[in-house]
Structure formats: structure tokens, C-alpha cells
A and B are shown apart, each in its own frame.
Chain A
Amino acid sequence: MTETLKNKKTKSYTQYGVKRNWQLLAMLSGAIVFTAVFAYIPMYGVLIAFQEYNPALGIGGSPYIGLDNFTRFFESYQFSNLMINTFLVSFLGFIIGFPLPIIIALLLNTLRSTRMKGIFQTIFNAPHFISVVVLVGMLFLFFGEYGLINSLVLQFGGERISFFLESDWFRPLFIGSGNWQETGWSSIIYLAALAGVDPQLHEAAKIDGASRFKRILHIDFPAIFPTISIILILSVGSLLSVGYEKVLLMQTGTNLSTSEIISTYVYKIGLTGFTEPGYAAAIGLFNSLINVVLLIIANYSAKKFSENSLW
């Protein structure tokens, strides 16, 4: 009798239902309001992608023109160029930027001295805290007409290279600096997963005569594989979403043939000069839709071939 009473009482403390848990909802209310206003209202605003938007008439009053903005973009001479530029800068960055943090984490994890591990990690993470403005400023200083790199080139008998005026140099500079800045930081998530590996596994493998390298392959790598899958899904989902912040700063008049990407183009036609908000919003919406589709495909395939998926 007392047993059942006690059980009932315990249960009641984790009862479900709104009445008992309104305080949890209250703790969430701020986050819900901010998300509703700053994420969902702009989603309603994408209606202008289907309008010939006129600021005087607003979203409610501007005439609808169906998919005209979209077809105009597909038919414009910019279309293939923007798609290719966006894809290449992100895909080439991914080829280097995806495996590098995994390798760094696996190798760092083999160091036995935690002190040494900590020092390396502090160093590797430092560039993450530099702002894009400073990063691009540093690039200008290193790779400018009179920068250190050009001094080196001259010393070896070459001629000054205008790294920022030649479109061929945009991608190497963008990707190289991106990896310099983020490799260490991206490895943290793998290091956290590696910290959870049971040391007894390593001990047992050691007794069986497995070398350190073998143990990486057969113990450490499988342990971080779920994390790798999640990061891979997210990366595929963002293959066509390259932010404008850094690219805008690196653009010069003459490297646009490789440095103009979807997001910078949207910014320019939507907010600067003679603006066409409806057209810009349509391109932005098209870009978001592709990202969602890519993410769903990636998640679906991951689910099919392994147990790891985002949802």
C-alpha cells in the first residue's frame, strides 16, 4: 500500500501536461518570441520573391508576378557563373577542410602529455578568434603588392604578383586562409568525442600487440565515426551556402569573375545601388531551397547506409 502510494507520488513529480509544466514553457518564451520575430517574420517576407516589389505598396500591396523573378534569374547570364563560383569555393574548401580537423584530432589524441596537448590546442584554436575583417586585412598585408610574399617572390627572381587583382588567386587565398583559421577549432568536436573513448579498450589492444597507428584505425576512428557522419551531413547541406562576410571583403573590381557568389550578388542587387528587392529575395530563396534539399538528401543517405542521422 505504502509502496504504491510512493510510486504514485514519484510519478506525479515528472508528470506531463501543460498545467504542471507551464514554468518550463515560460523559460522558453523568450527564445520562442525572438525566433518568431527574427526568423519567422522574414520567412513571411519571402513573399516578395513572387512580387514585383514596390516599397510604396509594401508586401501586402505589391502585384504578384508568379515565378518571373526566378525564371529571370535562371535565364540571366550570371546564373551559371554564380552557381559554379559558389559551388567551387565551397567544395574545394570542403575537400581540404573536412579531413584536416579529423586528422589533427586523431594525432593530438595520441599525445600522452596532457600539458602538451593543451598547449597545441591553444595554439591551433587562436586564429578562430580573429575577426574576418582582421583576417582579410592580414591577407592584404601578406599578399599585397608590397607584402611579405611578394618580397619573397622577388628574392627568388620572380615578378610581383597582384594576388588580389587576379581572379585565379581568389579561391586559393579564400580557402587557404579559411583552413588556417578554422582547422584547429573544427577539431574540438572530434577531440571531445575522443575523450569519451574507454581507456581499457586501448589497454586491451596494447596487450594484443596493436601498434598506436593500428589503435587509431580500429579504436579511435570508429569512436568518432558518428560525429564525422553528422558533420558530413551538415557540410553537404551547406555546399551552396557560402556566407557573404568574408567574400565581400576580399572582392576587388577585377577578381569578380571568380569571387562573385550567390550571397554577395543577393546583397548587391538587394541592398546597394539601384535595388531590386523582389529579384534579390527570389535568388536568396532559391539558394535556401537548394540547401534544404541537399540536407534532406544527405540525411536520407546517411540514414540508409548507417545509423547516424540528424533526425
Chain B
Amino acid sequence: MVNVKRKKSNMESRGDKYFHIGVIILMTLFALIVLYPLWFMVIASVSNPDSVLNGEVWLWPDTIDFSGYVKIFNDPAIWTGYKNTILYTVIGTTLNIILTIPAGYALSRPNLPYRKYIMWFFIITMFFGGGLIPFYFLISSLGLIDSFWVLIIPQGLSVWNMFMVKAYYESNVSLELIEAAQMDGANQFRTFWSVILPISKPIIAVMILFYAVGRWNSYFDAMVFIRSENLYPLQIVLRNILIVNDNASGGITGEDIYERLRLANQIKYGVIIVSSLPIIMIYPLVQRFFKEGFLVGSFK
């Protein structure tokens, strides 16, 4: 009797087999929906712009033509944007990590003084804020308008991310570990530096990913606070190429619009690839840390 049951548990019932196949089909379908628009950007960027506009290109490129990319790389605005965005992302993310990791660790310690008050001090800001206008006034009175640092400093800390770091340490650092370090005579700085940081790789990787993606992709702060073209991040350059033109020509149709579209679109497809590729590429490198680093705790 027991034997029969065990056999059954190892074998799959027919219903489960169908279910499994159904899931694979459904997931594949969903994957195609996700991938197709991205794939289309790739093929449209190297195809003949005329056939793209006529809707003839939809599965494979009809030619391999890099002239769109040549135009993109000859545009000095793209280069400036690229350089600026790399600077904003690298310097900004470094600041984020320096602020977030130690703070998240300190918050995870039950013996942090005034812990309850400090927690509320942060939690309130997650759900209530002064809003855009007072924020603008603050930036303006700090003299940061149209400066390089306006895209670095005000975004220095995400409280959401800090709480994620706290949750990570709460489930990965035992009291014994810290006590052992402190019995060996290490103070709290030393404990953090030589005991905690070495086991923090997953959460640091996840935090770098979160912050770097946010910084690489943001445009709004730059649109509001940056006036000089030589400080434009890539996203503002992209916005001018991808969206502002389109708004202007939105209503009109006709020959000259068509001609303009023909030339502009090829650049648009290319510019989308050029700007998104680096950030999509770093993600698989970090993905393996997700299981450990991606934890959300309560606010207690």
C-alpha cells in the first residue's frame, strides 16, 4: 500500500502533465509579447526606413543598414549626453551606496538608540512629502539650479531602498555573529567594516542595480533644473529626439512630414537601442543575487 502511494507521488498524473505544458505555452506567449517590441526596435533600426514606414518590416530586417547608427554617432549631443549620464550615474550611485548601506545596517540593529523615533522619522517621508513646488524652492535656495550636482545630491538616498537593506540584514545577520566580533574587541565601526560588509555582496549588488538604473533613466529633474546643454543627461537628449519633434508634428500629415519622419524614425530606432543596451546588459549580471537581496520587510 505504502509502495503504491510512493510510486504515485513520483509519477506525474496526466492532469499535472497537461497543466505543466499549458503553463509553458502561456509563459512563452507572454515572453513573446514582452520581447516583440524590443525585437522590432532592433530590426527597424537597421532596415530601410521606407519599408519600415510602409509596414513591410515586422519580423526580419530587409537589409542590414547602419547608416542610422552612423548619424547617431556623428551627433555631438548624443556623445555629451552619454558622457554626462555616465558621470551622473557613477558618482551618484557611489554616493547612494555610501549613504544607504551603513544606514540600513544601523536600522537593523535592535540596540540602535532612539530606534522607534528614527524609524518614524524615515517612514513618514515614504508617504508624505512637501511636493514638487517646495522642493523646487529648496533646490533654488541651495543654489543648485543648473549645476552638475543637482542631479547627484538631492537623489542621494531612497528610503525605500534603505529599508530593503535593513530587511536584508535582519534576516542575514545573527546576534551571535555581532557578539562574537565585539567580544574579540571590535567596535561597531570595525564590526561593520570587517564582519558585515564581507557578507553584504548580494544586497550591495542589488542596490547598485536599483540606484544606477534609476539614475540612468531619469529625465524629470534634469528637465526642471538643468538649462545648459553641456550638462544635459542622455535622457533629455533622447527626449528631444524621440518626443518633442513628434508632439510638434502630431496633428499634421503630408509629404514633407512624411519625408521628415522617414529620416527621423531611423535615428529614433537606433537611439533607443544605443541608450537602453548598456542598462539592460548589467541586469543579468546582478540577477543571481536577487533571491538573497530582494527582500521586503515590515516597518517594525
Contacts and interface: CB of A to CB of B under 8 A. Distances in A.
B253 A180 contact: no
A124 B243 CA distance: 26
A151 B287 contact: no
Interface string A103-115: 0100110111000
A151 B54 contact: yes
B230 interface: no
Nearest to B19: A212
A16 interface: yes
A266 interface: yes
A164 B251 CA distance: 9
A245 B272 contact: no
Contact of B246 (A140, A180, A310): A140
Contact of A137 (B16, B26, B131, B242): B242
A24 B188 contact: yes
A182 B282 CA distance: 18
Contacts of A32: 118, 121
Given A132-B217, A203-B9, A211-B13, A146 B125 contact: no
Contacts of A118: 287
Interface string B115-134: 00010011101011111111
Interface in A60-105: 104
A17 to B, nearest CB: 7
A28 to B, nearest CB: 4
Given A13-B182, A144-B246, A270-B132, A110 B251 contact: no
Interface string B133-153: 111111000000000000000
B111 A211 contact: no
Contacts of A23: 187-189
A26 B279 CA distance: 34
B33 A44 contact: no
A133 B239 contact: yes
B283 A129 contact: yes
A18 B58 CA distance: 66
A212 B76 CA distance: 57
A174 interface: no
Contact of A284 (B30, B33, B123, B131): B131
A1 interface: no
Given A18-B113, A295-B127, A137 B13 contact: no
B100 interface: yes
A87 B23 CA distance: 34
A230 interface: yes
B131 A281 contact: yes
B157 interface: yes
B276 A271 contact: no
B296 interface: yes
A31 B287 contact: no
A14 B175 contact: yes
A201 to B, nearest CB: 13
A24 B111 contact: yes
Nearest to A106: B23
Given A141-B268, A165-B250, A28 B102 contact: yes
B107 interface: yes
A110 B21 CA distance: 11
B103 interface: yes
Contacts of A221: none
Contacts of B130: 39, 41-46, 281, 284-285
Interface in B251-300: 251, 253, 258, 261, 265, 268-269, 272, 275-276, 279-280, 283-284, 287, 290-291, 294-296, 298-300
B103 to A, nearest CB: 4
A267 interface: yes
Given A107-B27, A162-B251, 20 more contacts: A9-B183, A14-B178, A21-B111, A31-B122, A34-B156, A35-B125, A41-B134, A44-B134, A111-B27, A125-B283, A131-B218, A131-B275, A152-B55, A162-B250, A188-B294, A213-B19, A244-B220, A245-B218, A271-B136, A285-B131
11 contacts: A23-B189, A31-B162, A35-B157, A118-B287, A122-B283, A134-B238, A140-B246, A146-B53, A227-B296, A277-B137, A291-B128
